[in-house]
């Protein structure tokens, strides 16, 4: 499956889904004008990838500095897709990166993790300069 790569804009995160390696990454900020238009192709690509046979491990790195409530709903949809695949036996890990002293993003990561029972969810503090 071809990778899905979208550059970050002022309102959307960078998307770097390397399906061949099973490494998926969202980074930056997410408050697109039209959430459905932005996340629709991401959902479609992720669904297609998860439906493929093979089942090699998946690592999803979330390095969002900010997202709005509409993006939060989209992220929950992504996490639900990953949770379903993990409950079917796929090895899936999520690393939720948040900047030091950003209690809000840490708490949001904790909230998302509470809904995931089959996905290995790790919270990772990174320096405020964004270097992970």
**Where in the chain are the domains?**
4-126
The DSSP element (H or E) to which 6 belongs, if any, is strand 4-6
Q: Nearest 10 degrees: CA dihedral of 97, 56, 22, 31?
A: -60
Q: What is the tens place of the pLDDT at every residue in 12-57? A: 999 999 999 999 999 999 999 999 999 999 999 999 999 986 778 9
pLDDT score recorded for residue 128: 83
**pTM for the whole structure:** 0.92
State the burial class of residue 112 (Cβ atoms within 10 Å of its Cβ: 0-12, 13-18, 19+): buried
pLDDT tier for residue 130 given thresholds of 50, 70 and 90: low
Number of H helices, E strands in the chain: 3, 6
CATH assignment, 4-126 = 3.30.750.24
């Amino acid at each position: 499956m071809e990778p899905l790569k979208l550059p970050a804009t002022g309102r959307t995160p960078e998307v770097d889904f390397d399906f061949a390696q099973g490494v998926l990454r969202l980074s930056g900020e997410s408050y697109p004008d039209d959430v459905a238009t932005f996340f629709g192709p991401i959902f479609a690509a992720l669904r297609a990838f998860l439906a493929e046979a093979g089942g090699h491990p998946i690592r999803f790195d979330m390095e969002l500095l900010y997202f709005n409530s509409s993006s939060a709903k989209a992220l929950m949809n992504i996490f639900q897709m990953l949770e379903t695949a993990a409950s079917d036996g796929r090895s899936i890990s999520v690393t939720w990166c948040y900047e030091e002293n950003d209690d809000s993003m840490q708490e949001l990561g904790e909230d998302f993790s509470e809904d995931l029972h089959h996905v290995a969810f790790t919270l990772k503090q990174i320096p405020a300069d964004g270097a992970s």
